[in-house]
């Protein structure tokens, strides 16, 4: 039953984040996910090392610093501190924070570069190609969309220069075979398929330097100081340099157990460049020589948060604002929301309304109420427990907890945080139903039922004790309060979360303290003028609090046919398009999150359906006045269209 195994070592890394701006929702999500996993594995008894940090070199940073008129190191110092402060505020339990401008990192990068150069894995050559400064990489003709970077939708710059190249192409077949034979190294599976897709095209050698005539902000190549290291070659090595480099004691201990947690945007560098680099540097075992090195740098890949995907009420406008909601609703509510709402690996939409809905329903109602009613009942009646006897517990709850714990374990083994939380919330429901069915308040009125009452109260105290442990990785502050309320001062371990351990005596019941208001309900109707309208629904798949709507409520929506007269990408956004639409005589701008599904040109001249009376909102700095309707299922999205022509401005009812 116990997943405690003192031998297990677990090394988990987050991406190191660019410091050209402050931390935002996306960075916080990955770091919270990593923290929840690290806490879970520590609770299971593993020797865990959690690494995060900042990526500080390269064109992107140099340009941001130049724009702000400050030296890159000053920008890096300021924003690296902002990341540290944010992780402290969020209660992240990283064991190390690495900055790529630290000497401990530069030393390892230079050592590995020199070793690769000496082995002939790096050569000097000339290359011309289309370069995206946003991505810091060259794009092949096949990848370019309409002459632009497919990620940033900005024009690419043709660059021809002499550089050092890593012979990545020779590893193509090895990598393909490896990925095919080892399905578990990249999860979820769709991302492994994406990598195999990349490998169907010939793999190019990788330019790993930049001439100092163009860029000075980088680690000098040890064998040619006219060049600095390409930022990705520098950045990826943080995972090794933070352990002290090959041969260091920490490296020997943790490296074989590495898991990289990343967003899907950086799959290619992690799934293609990185294994080839490691293979060339001899830092990966291959199938033949099963040594103590990892078989692959295991990747756990998550999807993207999108913002304001069609939400009607006040919505957060950007990812920095979204992160600021931690101050408004608390770390635990924010953590719970992001871990529960996003199925790991898929995209999800972030709205303040959805967060509040989960806070009210799952945290305040389900968990908060349970803790409040159970501790209130125990505190009121604990004195009735006869002293000196071991408490009995209801076996029904024991079975539920055994199953629940197994489900949490299985989900966490797959990084399926949403499923782990769903399993814990099933337990919370079971315990709430137990209170309803046992009616301890009625038992308390009948002196003949004292034994039964004590069993029920003891079972509730035990349930809260186990829940306090199971919740620790996910909502650590609240879980600690639950543990304190039930008087559990023992060491927190997952093994101790098995229901019915013979530790609790009747005297312990009197130590339970009433805990109310763990998660106060939030009422947003006051500041949400549109609440109650049909579109003010909660997160996908949940019913509105008001249930069905009346025809009058539906009529408040002004749905219209509109013609798209112009469409262009919103700068720096992967998802958003800025549409100019005609609505009868009126012309308007609407920002729509459809860039990944429709090229702008394909939209011009089309008739779409829009919500015309939506409150205006600003998305990525562009004022949007209305909303384009689309259907979606998983990753697929389709715009609503008319099956015969109607003039723009026509009403939809």
HEC string for 155-188: ECEEEEEEEEEECHHHHHHHHHHHHHHCHHHEEC
Shortest spacing between CB 209 and ligand ME8, in angstroms: 18
Q: Which is nearer to ligand ME8, 198 or 304 (CB)?
A: 304
The one catalytic residue among 57, 60, 105, 149: 149
Catalytic annotation present for 24: yes
Distance, CA of 213 to CA of 227 (rounded, Å) = 8
**Are 122 and 110 spatial neighbours (Cβ–Cβ below 8 Å)?**
no
Q: Is 105 a catalytic residue?
A: no
Residue 642 makes CB contacts below 8 A (sequence gap 6+) with 561, 607, 609
Nearer to ligand ME8, 100 or 537 (CB): 100
Which residues of the chain form contacts with ligand ME8 (CB under 6 A)? 15-18, 26-27, 29-30, 55, 235-236, 238, 262-263, 265-266, 304-305
Catalytic hit among 132, 279, 418, 466: 132
Nearer to ligand ME8, 32 or 479 (CB): 32
466 carries an active-site annotation: no
The answer to whether residues 85 and 241 touch, using CB atoms and an 8 Å cutoff, is no
Nearest-approach distance from CB 56 to ligand ME8, in angstroms = 9
Nearest to 14 by CA among 351, 184, 261: 261
Decide if 353 contacts 313 (C-beta within 8 A): yes
Measured from the CB of residue 378, what is the shortest distance to ligand ME8 in angstroms? 41
Catalytic residue among 60, 260, 314, 607: 314
Identify the burial level of 527 via C-beta atoms within 10 angstroms of its C-beta, where 0-12 means exposed, 13-18 middle and 19 or more buried: exposed
Conformation bin of residue 69: beta by default, left when phi > 0, alpha when psi is -120 to 50: left
Catalytic residue selected from 24, 302, 381, 575: 24
CB of 300 to ligand ME8, least distance (A): 11
Whether residue 555 lies in the annotated active site: no
Quote the least distance from Cβ 30 to ligand ME8, whole Å. Answer: 4
Asked about 132 being catalytic, the answer comes back as yes
d(CA 626, CA 90): 35
Q: Which of 60, 259, 260, 311 is catalytic?
A: 311
The minimum distance between CB 160 and ligand ME8, in angstroms, equals 26
Of 27, 57, 60, 418, catalytic: 27
Which one from 135, 259, 466, 575 is the annotated catalytic residue?
135
User: 265 or 558, CB closer to ligand ME8?
Assistant: 265
Burial call 236-275: b when 16+ CB within 10 Å, e when fewer: bbbbbbbbbbbebeebeebbebbbbbbbbebbbbbbbbbb
Q: Which is nearer to ligand ME8, 348 or 435 (CB)?
A: 348
Annotated catalytic residue 276: no
CB count within 10 Å of CB 283 equals 19
What is the maximal distance between C-alpha atoms in the chain?
Answer: 91
Nearest to 51 by CA among 297, 399, 374: 297
Residue nearest to ligand ME8 (CB): 26
Angle value at C-alpha 417, between 320 and 196, nearest 5 degrees = 85
Cβ-contact 603, 579 below 8 angstroms: yes
- Residue closer to ligand ME8 by CB (options 175, 235) is 235
Closest CB to ligand ME8 among residues 191, 499: 191
Determine the distance from the C-alpha atom of residue 478 to the mean position of all C-alpha atoms in its chain, rounded to a whole number: 21
- Residues known to be catalytic: 24, 27, 132, 135, 149, 152, 311, 314
């Amino acid at each position: 039953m116990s997943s405690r195994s003192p031998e297990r070592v677990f090394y988990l890394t987050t991406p190191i984040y660019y410091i050209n701006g402050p931390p935002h929702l996306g960075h916080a999500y990955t770091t919270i996910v990593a923290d929840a996993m690290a806490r879970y594995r520590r609770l299971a008894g593993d020797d865990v090392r959690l690494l995060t940090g900042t990526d500080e070199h390269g064109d992107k940073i140099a340009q941001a610093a130049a724009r702000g008129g400050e030296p890159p190191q000053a920008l890096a110092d300021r924003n690296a501190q902002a990341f540290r402060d944010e992780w402290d505020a969020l209660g992240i339990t990283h064991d190390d924070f690495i900055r790529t401008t630290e000497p401990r990192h530069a030393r390892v990068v230079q050592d590995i570069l020199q070793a690769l150069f000496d082995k002939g894995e790096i050569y000097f050559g000339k290359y011309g190609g289309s370069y995206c400064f946003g991505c810091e990489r060259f794009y092949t003709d096949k990848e370019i969309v309409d002459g632009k970077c497919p990620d940033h939708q900005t024009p690419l710059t043709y660059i021809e220069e002499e550089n050092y190249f890593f012979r990545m192409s020779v590893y193509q077949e090895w990598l393909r075979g490896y990925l095919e034979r080892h399905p578990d190294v990249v999860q979820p599976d769709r991302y492994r398929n994406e990598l195999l897709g990349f490998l169907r095209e010939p793999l190019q050698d990788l330019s790993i330097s930049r001439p100092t005539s163009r860029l000075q902000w980088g680690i000098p190549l040890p064998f040619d100081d006219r060049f600095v290291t390409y930022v990705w070659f520098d950045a990826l090595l943080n995972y090794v340099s933070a352990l002290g480099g090959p041969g260091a004691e920490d490296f020997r201990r943790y490296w074989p157990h590495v898991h990289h947690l990343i967003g899907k945007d950086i799959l290619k560098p992690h799934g293609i460049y990185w294994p080839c680099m490691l293979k060339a540097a001899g830092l990966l075992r291959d199938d033949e020589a099963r040594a103590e090195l990892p078989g692959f740098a295991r990747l756990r890949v998550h999807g993207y948060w999108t913002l304001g995907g069609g939400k009607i009420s006040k919505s957060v406008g950007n990812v920095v604002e979204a992160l600021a909601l931690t101050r408004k609703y608390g770390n635990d509510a924010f953590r719970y929301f992001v871990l529960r709402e996003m199925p790991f690996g898929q995209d999800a939409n972030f709205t303040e309304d959805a967060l509040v809905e989960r806070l009210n329903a799952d945290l305040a109602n389900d968990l908060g109420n349970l803790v409040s009613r159970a501790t209130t009942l125990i505190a009121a009646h604990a004195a009735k427990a006869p002293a000196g006897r071991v408490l009995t517990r209801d076996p029904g709850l024991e079975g539920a907890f055994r199953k629940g714990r197994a489900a949490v374990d299985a989900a966490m083994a797959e990084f399926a945080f949403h499923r782990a939380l769903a399993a814990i919330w099933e337990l919370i429901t079971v315990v709430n139903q137990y209170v309803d069915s046992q009616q301890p308040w009625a038992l308390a009125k009948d002196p003949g039922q004292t034994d039964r009452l004590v069993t029920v109260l003891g079972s509730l105290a035990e349930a809260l004790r186990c829940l306090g442990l199971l919740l620790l990785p996910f909502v650590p502050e609240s879980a600690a309060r639950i543990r304190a309320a039930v008087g559990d001062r023992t060491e927190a371990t997952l093994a101790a979360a098995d229901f019915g351990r013979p530790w609790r005596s009747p005297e312990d019941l009197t130590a339970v303290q009433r805990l109310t208001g763990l998660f106060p309900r939030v009422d947003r109707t006051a500041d949400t003028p549109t609440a109650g309208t049909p579109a003010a629904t909660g997160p996908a798949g949940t019913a509105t609090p008001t249930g069905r709507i009346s025809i009058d409520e539906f009529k408040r929506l002004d749905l219209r046919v509109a013609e798209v007269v112009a469409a262009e990408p919103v700068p720096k956004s992967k998802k958003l398009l800025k549409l100019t639409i005609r609505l009868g005589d009126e012309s308007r701008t609407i920002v729509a999150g459809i860039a990944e599904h429709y090229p702008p040109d394909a939209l011009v001249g089309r008739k779409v359906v829009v919500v015309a009376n939506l409150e205006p909102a600003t998305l990525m700095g562009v004022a949007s006045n209305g909303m384009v309707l689309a259907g979606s299922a998983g990753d697929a999205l389709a715009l609503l269209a008319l099956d015969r022509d109607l003039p723009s401005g026509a009403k939809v009812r």
